[in-house]
Chain A
Amino acid sequence: MIENQGKMEIPTDNLTDSAVAARNLSKGYDKGQLAVDSLDLDIRPGEVFGLLGPNGAGKTTTIRMLLGLLRPTSGQVFIHGEEITTGRQKVKTKLGVCPQETVLWPELTVSEHLSLIGRMYDVPAKTLRADAERLIEEFSLGEKRNQPVKRLSGGLKRRLNLALALVHGPDVIMLDEPSAGLDPQSRALLWERITRLTEDGRRTVILTTHSMEEADRLSDRVGILDHGRMLVLDAPDTLKRSIGEGDVLEVDLDRAPSPEAVEALRRHGLVEHDSAAATTISVRGLNIMERFPGIVEALAASSVMIRNTRLRPNTLEDVFLKLTGRSLRDG
């Protein structure tokens, strides 16, 4: 672990290939507790990266260090190859942030918010007017453009919160639980917008969320963080295929299977059969569909007819719980 910046050589290979890179990033607090422990991270341009973790896992600390708001105890952060502390002003224009809380000025209108933040990023006036107008339309804020924010609903405020992260056209957008508190319609709009953000392959989105569905749907890769360490980092499908108790295949039969048939199924996964007379049987296992032909064969061998099948695939939530456990966290 790198103890302090400058004391040890920090590898800077391939930094320009990454939109966001962290090298040996650690943050310790007064009691010696490490909130983030030797984190290495490479987030590629054009991807949506989901950063997951239970409360107190170190997500917020990591995000704050990636944004340059929190000084790491050791390690470095690079945005498109630019070190965040030395090239802070240059890096700032590349970053757009949508904080978890709606950070808005109640007395200012929607237009005034976009104008203020745009000007604080030095967006030329003409470009700013056009961009603000486009964002107002995209986030369906047109009717409220001249309303003070204090008169907007929670959903509209969250939309504006996100629009402010985009007003200066950043390359890297950090979204901290962007859909929290949104109704299904607004969430659908938001998800569609996030997906479109990375379509051109230029922009990168870092998403933290407690919604596994959101992370699964939107993320190209997810990293699961716990106790300050990155437990896994891969594509959601890969994780679902490799971690957790697996998919569940429920099979309805024309009659109760024989004990031999049940035994034969056990070779393919964990079998749940409530009683000897039950006509439904569940087989649980990782990547269960690859074993489906064997399951059909085992049942056919005992002359049991399959009436119906249902598949409940392994979810990201299953992966998450498998890795982080079911005990409640403080934070």
Chain B
Amino acid sequence: MRFLPLSLAVAKRMSRDLFTLFFAILFPAFFVFIFSMAFGKSGPMRNQRLDLAVVNQDEGVRVSFGAGPDTLRLGETLVDVLESLSYSPSSGWMSSDSSSSGLASLDSLRLAAGKPESAVFDVVDTLLESEALKQVSSGDFDAALIIPAGFTKAAMAMAMEDAMGRVFLGAIDKFSAGSGAKGGKAQGVFGRKPTTSEIQKMIDDVSRGLGKGQKKSGVPLDSLSLPSRKADPVALNLAGDPSNLGFTMTGGIIKNVLDEFLKKVSQRSLEEAKEFLPVDLGPAGKELVSLENSSVAVETRTVFDYQVPGIIVFALLMLVSLVSVTLMLDLTQGHLERLKLTRMSSLDYFLGNTLPWMVLSVLQLALLFGVAKLLGYHNVGSMFAGVGLVVLGSLSSISLALIVAGLARNEKQASAVSTMIAVPLSFLSGAFFPVRDVVIVKDFFGHSLSLTDLSPWTHTTKALVGMLTFGKAFSEVRWNVFMQVGLTALLFLAGILLFSRRRLTAQR
């Protein structure tokens, strides 16, 4: 337990060193203040909307629900969502309409008619892509969003595949006697685990609307025509000037909106699939259903609201410089050598130094969050939701600081190297604007892995934005948390090994 007196000593030193305290705690809060002046409610962007040209080329898909065929156009719905994006607490832009069901009810994704005063975007529908791009070039619009022809088809195929897959996973459990039914009470249709071809046939039958029996609502299944589960991938194109902050902010917002939109579509499809084959869903299904509880309920949203979690991550990355310089001062001023002569172990030293910095980062979060709230930050999630992420993020930064302090020759080098690493990392983590990324692994435990995903701070940013700004539940950001934990563990291990080998053993 030698780390406790060491932690206490480090904490006392920190608390009595006003210069360090200023940079560690007050500087990020000051940074928040500057950002709020620039992008917050009281800043020059007050009531200023982002100008978005939309070219909707979506052709939709034909579906029928017993009352005649209809064309489902998700492109239009998406445009409506963007137009009405305002986060009104009464409606919420992604509010679900529990009274309606069926794929047709996707229309309920649209918001109440009329553009609210606090709308984020000024959306203008444009017919020609060339015209939209010209307007962006001339600076009339911040960005142009081109929705491709196959948008609905691809989105629905994705949703159907997802929904069918999950429902049938549940069904396989239910219909396979003793292979998943709770307490072994389920009466299996197959009496055994079905073969792959039987599962495929079951999926095809239902998705073609040829299953036996009737839908609960009374619509005969043979009258249904559901969208195909197969479609070519499509990409929405957001065009704009990367040097224009409005464009980068638009990119960030639309990415989040699109993610939520597609999830909602999947959720509706899942509900539909359950109507045909009522089974208990597996854990993946529950994750989607839990979206029902997440509502975005902020009165007004500004660019500043999207940047506050990013500033938290920026502050965490600034710890790299502070911690590495502190460790180097320990080395160059002989403190580390004095401690090495005692019975202190490497672990004592790491824990002794890590704990106070973690506490400081939580204090930093509290102050930063408080200042941000005073300056008009609209958070949906609680600050307490971010505490764990911030502690993890601070551990990532301390780990990087250990690596820097293990390699640097003096505190000047440590400071310079830390800044050179931390500042680009904060930008690459998406702290201030979304980053166009390079996918390096298409399927990594069901997720695509980009270059920036190799940085734990990218996941800290994503999880913080999700939980604080969008009010997502932990289950919705658990992939980011998992990645953050894994990458931090790797970084911490590397930091400990390097620092121990170079600084804590007898000099060679």
Task: Please report A residues at the B interface, Cβ cutoff 8 Å.
Answer: 64, 67-71, 85, 89, 92-93, 95, 97, 99, 101, 103, 105, 107-108, 112, 115-117, 119-122, 148, 164
Chain A residues, Cβ within 8 Å of B344: 120
A-B contact pairs, 10 of them (CB 8 A): A67-B341, A69-B337, A69-B341, A70-B506, A93-B343, A95-B341, A97-B338, A105-B9, A117-B342, A120-B342
Q: Which of B5, B334, B506 contacts A116 (CB 8 A)?
A: B5
Q: Given contacts A64-B507, A120-B342, A120-B344, is CB(A103)–CB(B6) below 8 Å?
A: no
Q: Which of A68, A112, A121 contacts B9 (CB 8 A)?
A: A112
- B12 near A112 (CB under 8 angstroms)? yes
Q: Given contacts A70-B506, A120-B2, A120-B6, is CB(A107)–CB(B12) below 8 Å?
A: yes
Q: Which of B316-341 contact A (CB under 8 A)?
A: 333-335, 337-341
B442 within 8 A of partner (CB)? no
Chain B, 328-365, contact with A by CB distance < 8 Å: what is the 0/1 string? 00000111011111111000100000000000000000
Q: Which of B475-508 contact A (CB under 8 A)?
A: 506-508
B16 within 8 A of partner (CB)? yes
Q: Which of B5, B6, B343, B507 contacts A92 (CB 8 A)?
A: B343
Q: Given contacts A69-B340, A103-B337, A108-B13, is CB(A119)–CB(B507) below 8 Å?
A: no
B232 within 8 A of partner (CB)? no
Measured as residues with beta carbon below 8 angstroms from the partner, the interface class of chain B is 20 to 34
Q: Which of B17, B506, B508 contacts A68 (CB 8 A)?
A: B506
Task: Please report B residues at the A interface, Cβ cutoff 8 Å.
Answer: 2, 5-6, 9, 12-13, 16-17, 333-335, 337-344, 348, 506-508
Interface centre among B335, B348, B506 (most CB of A within 10 A): B506
Chain A residues, Cβ within 8 Å of B12: 107-108, 112
Instruction: State in angstroms the CA–CA spacing of A121 and B341 once bound together.
Output: 9
- B335 near A105 (CB under 8 angstroms)? yes
- B343 near A120 (CB under 8 angstroms)? yes
- A116 near B6 (CB under 8 angstroms)? yes
Instruction: State in angstroms the CA–CA spacing of A68 and B342 once bound together.
Output: 11
Q: Return the chain B residue nearest A88 by Cβ.
A: B506
Chain B residues, Cβ within 8 Å of A71: 506-508
- A92 near B508 (CB under 8 angstroms)? no
Q: Return the chain B residue nearest A90 by Cβ.
A: B343
Q: Return the chain B residue nearest A89 by Cβ.
A: B343
Pairs of residues from A and B, 5 with the lowest C-beta to C-beta distance, nearest first: A120-B342, A103-B334, A107-B16, A119-B5, A107-B13
Distance to closest chain B CB from A52 (angstroms): 23
Chain A residues, Cβ within 8 Å of B340: 69
Chain B residues, Cβ within 8 Å of A116: 5-6, 9
Q: Return the chain B residue nearest A119 by Cβ.
A: B5
Chain A residues, Cβ within 8 Å of B337: 69, 99, 103
Chain A residues, Cβ within 8 Å of B506: 68-71, 85
Chain A residues, Cβ within 8 Å of B6: 116, 120
Chain B residues, Cβ within 8 Å of A119: 2, 5
- B9 near A108 (CB under 8 angstroms)? yes
Chain A residues, Cβ within 8 Å of B338: 97, 99, 103, 117, 164
Chain A residues, Cβ within 8 Å of B507: 64, 69-71
Interface centre among A93, A105, A115, A148 (most CB of B within 10 A): A105
Other than the given A103-B337, A117-B342, A122-B343, 10 more pairs (CB < 8 A) read A67-B341, A89-B343, A92-B343, A97-B338, A107-B16, A120-B2, A120-B339, A120-B348, A121-B342, A148-B16
Distance to closest chain A CB from B350 (angstroms): 14
Q: Return the chain B residue nearest A101 by Cβ.
A: B334
Q: Given contacts A69-B507, A71-B508, A103-B335, is CB(A92)–CB(B13) below 8 Å?
A: no
Distance to closest chain B CB from A190 (angstroms): 19
Instruction: State in angstroms the CA–CA spacing of A257 and B403 once bound together.
Output: 79
Chain A residues, Cβ within 8 Å of B341: 67, 69, 92, 95, 97
Instruction: State in angstroms the CA–CA spacing of A95 and B2 once bound together.
Output: 18
Chain A residues, Cβ within 8 Å of B348: 120
Q: Given contacts A69-B507, A70-B506, A122-B2, is CB(A105)–CB(B342) below 8 Å?
A: no
Instruction: State in angstroms the CA–CA spacing of A116 and B344 once bound together.
Output: 11
Distance to closest chain A CB from B53 (angstroms): 58
- A99 near B335 (CB under 8 angstroms)? no
Instruction: State in angstroms the CA–CA spacing of A95 and B337 once bound together.
Output: 14
Distance to closest chain A CB from B422 (angstroms): 25
Q: Return the chain A residue nearest B507 by Cβ.
A: A70
Chain A residues, Cβ within 8 Å of B508: 71
Instruction: State in angstroms the CA–CA spacing of A92 and B339 once bound together.
Output: 11
Chain B residues, Cβ within 8 Å of A112: 9, 12
Chain A residues, Cβ within 8 Å of B342: 92, 117, 120-121
Distance to closest chain A CB from B501 (angstroms): 13
Distance to closest chain A CB from B144 (angstroms): 57
